[in-house]
Structure 1
Amino acid sequence: MSPRPRRPDPGPAEPPVVAVRGLVKRYGSVTAVDGLDLTLARASVLALLGPNGAGKSTTVDICTGFATGDAGEVRVLGTDPAGAPDALRARIGVMPQGGGAYPGVRAGEMLRLVASCAEHPLDPAWLIDVLGLGGCARIPYKRLSGGQQQRLALACAIVGRPELVFLDEPTAGLDPQGRRLVWELVDALRRDGVAVLLTTHLMEEAEALADHVVIVDHGKVVAEGSPTALTTGGDQELRFRARPGMDVADLATALPAGYHAAETLAGRYVVQGRIDPAVLSAITGWCAAQGALADDVQVARRSLEDVFLELTGRELRP
């Protein structure tokens, strides 16, 4: 999707693009960020997740130089971002919540203005076409739909060919088609060697895009890892169909300690616990001993949203 050549893969000793250690930020008596650590590597996507008020946007503001921390160390492309020094601003792109454009400026003018500040920008006309904004390039920002404003904000964040992009809720308000377009663009940025730090309330988005996920609550990291690592382990569910009325208490005794079995509807059974080949064999063997065939067997792993709810006890809401 991008016209520039792909950058070579980084070597193993390359320093992180973003390194945050022990970050603290207070607003009066409220501690918004409380000893937070995170690391973002080049050519990768990090999803910062958490409920409202968890410290996500404050962390992004500090990393982009729009706020300063009260304690801890932050390095962005090897530089302290405090005050957003010009040398750093030239290397990063920022898509804030709310768009950040002048209300009366036309969409095309806004993108060309941002492009004029970059040394080697992407072609604004090409980017407008890629993001489906061609029909509204002459429309003032305040008259654009929410989805069009989001796509223009994304265009402004990447038109300068940044090495690092911060995306705060990049698909908020977008329809499924627009959301998929943004996902493809983020993936293209990663392939080109760009690092992306995004916040999102969409678990599907984090699972689809992120190489690394950091979940924060009350300003602290409560879990981190790849989407696969975070969703592997813990309880799973195995569902199957068989003749109704079988003794699920007897089934539970055939399984290791800690497993739970239930007949949720007539002939529909669920077993909760860590499902591995030995457990699956025990379940089908038990059914065979009852003269029944386990049919329509399905194993469901935990989703990222399941992990979030287990850690914070709250739904992830916009």
Structure 2
Amino acid sequence: MYKGPSIQIENITKRYKSAEEDSLSLVSLQINESDVYGLLGPNGAGKTTLISILCGIIPPSQGSIQYYIAGKKINEQERRSLLGFVPQEYAFYQELTPRQNLDYFGAMYNLSKTELSERIDKLLDELGLAKVADKEVFTFSGGMKRRVNLAIGLIHRPSILFLDEPTVGVDVQSKNAIIKYLEEINRAGTTIVYTSHHMSEAEEFCNRIALIDHGKVVVEGGLSELLIENGAANLQSLFIKLTGEEYRD
């Protein structure tokens, strides 16, 4: 089975207009196929900017990104259908039902009506939304809305999935269910790139991490090796040791 790179990031730098400093500075990373790769760091470290660049939402000021599927480079046109993005903010229409939202967003990927209908039913069932499939989303709890957000990002079966704080603001049960589902699709071959402020969740979920601070990569590698190398008992202590204890909000 292929275990080479899924995303190759070379010297990505981003400076916003009128900014005095770079939001990202010469970031180079390799994310391998089937990784659960954590992009971690304090508030303002550059995580969301990096994910936005990787998804093609904003351009870098310099640097390059190359994507691969089973060792084959994919071009700009192919990228749209192979990447999925679940943002921290809710990215759906609150006045519509989960089924209507999935039908609307799924149509953007040119899925046939039959394929889209089957895909919607499968996702609603797998994410515990089948019983509320035809109720307006604005009536839902935070955990249910997070699952709708996730379903939209997965409607086209992406090979690479980007997650920006996918469990923020949800209860323990919903968080556990979401992470279990993500682990299942990762085992099935989906590469996952993930950001979170929940260090215990990230420690259990990710096999590799990059710790970013002030727009630069502080440390990168396999989680267990990084803990040993830095004399840290867990990811939270590693995070504090390398980024400091001062307020960042």
Shorter chain as denominator, the TM-score bin is: 0.7 to 0.9
In the other structure, the counterpart of 1:253 is: none
Per mean C-alpha deviation after superposition, the further-off stretch among 154-163 and 132-141 is 132-141
The alignment covers a number of residue pairs equal to 238
Between Structure 1 and Structure 2, whose CA radius of gyration is higher? Answer: 1
Q: How does 1:172-183 map to 2 (within 5 A)?
A: 172-183=168-179
Match of 2:6 in 1: 17
Unmatched 5+ residue regions in structure 2? none
C-alpha displacement of 1:59: 0.4
Q: Is the 8 A contact 1:105 1:140 kept in 2?
A: yes
For 1:128, the equivalent position in structure 2 comes to 124
Distance 2:230 2:213 in 1: 20
Work out whether residues 21 and 74 of structure 1, in 8 Å CA contact, stay in contact via their aligned partners in 2: yes
Inter-partner Cα distance in structure 2 for 1:213 and 1:105: 37
| Alignment partner of 1:73 is 2:64 | yes
Deviation of residue 132 (structure 1)?
Answer: 1.6
Deviation at 1:192?
Answer: 1.1
Q: Quick one: structure 1 residues 118 and 207, their matched pair in 2 at CA, closer, same or farther if it must change by over 3 Å?
A: farther
Are the equivalent residues in 2 in contact too, given 1:186–1:209 (CA < 8 A)? no
Q: In the alignment, which of 274, 285, 305 is matched to residue 236 of structure 2?
A: 305
CA deviation after TM superposition for structure 1 residue 72, in Å? 1.1
The partner residue of 1:95 within 86, 91, 97 is 86
Percent same amino acid at aligned positions?
A: 30
- Relative distance call for 1:73 and 1:316 in structure 2 (3 A) is farther
Which residue matches 2:211?
215
CA distance in 2, matches of 1:316, 1:171: 23
TM-fit CA distance, 1:79: 4.6
Structure-2 residue corresponding to 1:239: none
What is the CA RMSD across the aligned residues, in angstroms?
2.1
TM-score normalized by the length of structure 2: 0.88
C-alpha deviation, 1:316, in angstroms: 9.3
Q: Distance in 1 between matches of 2:182 and 2:247?
A: 22
Does structure 1 residue 115 correspond to structure 2 residue 95? Answer: no
Q: Indicate whether 1:105 and 2:96 are aligned.
A: yes
TM-score normalised according to structure 1 size: 0.69
Residue 144, structure 1, aligned to residue 136, structure 2: no
Q: Which one of the candidate residues 208, 215, 223 is aligned to 1:227?
A: 223
Q: Which residue of 2 aligns with 1:42?
A: 33
Q: Distance in 2 between matches of 1:118 and 1:316?
A: 46
Shift of 1:64: 0.5
**Offset, 1:102:** 2.1
Task: Flag the 1:103–1:196 CA change in 2: closer, same or farther, 3 A.
Answer: same
Q: Cα–Cα, structure 1 residues 213 and 102, in superposed 2: closer, same or farther, change >3 Å?
A: same
Letter aligned with residue 190 of structure 2: V
